[in-house]
Amino acid sequence: MPFKTTKPRTKTNTKPAPKKTKERAKSSKPHGASRQSVATSHGIGDRRKSNLASAPRRTHQIRRWQVVVVAMGIIVVFTTAFYFFFIRPYAYRWQPCYGQEGYGVCLPYGYKVHGLDISHYQGAIDWHQLTQSRLTKFPIHFIFMKATEGGDHLDSTFTRNFDKAYEHGFIRGAYHFYNPNTDPMKQADFFIRTVNLKAGDLPPVLDIEVKGRKETEELQAALKVWLQRIEMHYGVKPIIYASYKFKMKYLNDSVFNSYPYWIAHYYVDSVRYEGKWDFWQHSDIGQVPGIKSDVDLNVYNGALEELLKLRIEN
């Protein structure tokens, strides 16, 4: 039997290791200073939080103030623009009338020959009812009607209105609305083909209201072509219709002053144009029996006998 040897046992330390105890680290600062430091740090944090919290409020207040200022500025601008564009030009409508009241407006004082100008905007007209104006204090004597516009546009009511005015005994006239972008000779020939003026009618009318992109000299040259062509055909000087401002700015010279002038000058007590004029369109809101919508009102600058002399003779 073999001899067994045993490995000698090594002696181990079975004594448990002593437990470590936590020792409070001693601070180099006094205990009171530590509390003060904590308190101080909390104070800084509170102030930062307070500043952060108050910053948006201040910004919000500034923005609100700016909004108020901008809003007030917009209101002032809008009010001013509204007054100059919508109130001031028409303030005459609401002024008390110290002169003659007729056809829903305050009529210019001292004029006895009254008239209208009409187009498709007035729609269907009751001509029989319109003749009743002759029984009023301000009878309608003459009526201008829109005939043509540009080089190819015929007013849809012209033929009927022109015939009815003749049948009911009104002194009638026809006008052409000029388009500065269309050849003047083409426009004149179109008017001639459309309008058959007779003895007793008023001279043809050139209605010029827009300049377009033409230079003043170019516009004037084109208008002279139209006027000369029409005068040659009808044998009478045409009437020029233009607003007071347009006439003064673009047509204020000796050539255009030689033509009878029909001035458009609304909501004023008297004509401010210092030159000679023959007709005055003084309102665009007339209320006339037989016409449902507003209509332009006019007066002739003279007696009825003078108006009759202005008519085409043959």
Residue 48 DSSP label: H
Looking up tokens 């009607």 gives 145
Instruction: Report how far residue 242's alpha carbon sits from residue 208's, in angstroms, rounded to the nearest whole number.
Output: 6
How far apart CA 227 and CA 205 sit, in angstroms, is 9
Sign of the Cα pseudo-torsion (107, 109, 113, 119, in order): negative
Beta strands in 132-278 (DSSP E): 140-149, 153-154, 171-177, 205-207, 239-243, 261-264
Distance CA(115)–CA(170), nearest Å, equals: 9
Tell me which of 46, 101, 167, 209 is the catalytic residue.
Answer: 209
Q: Among 150, 139, 143, which Cα is nearest to 177's? A: 150
Question: Which residue out of 117, 201, 207, 278 is catalytically annotated?
Answer: 117
Residue 117 bears catalytic tag: yes
- DSSP conformational letter for 5: -
231 is catalytic: no
Residues tagged active-site: 117, 209
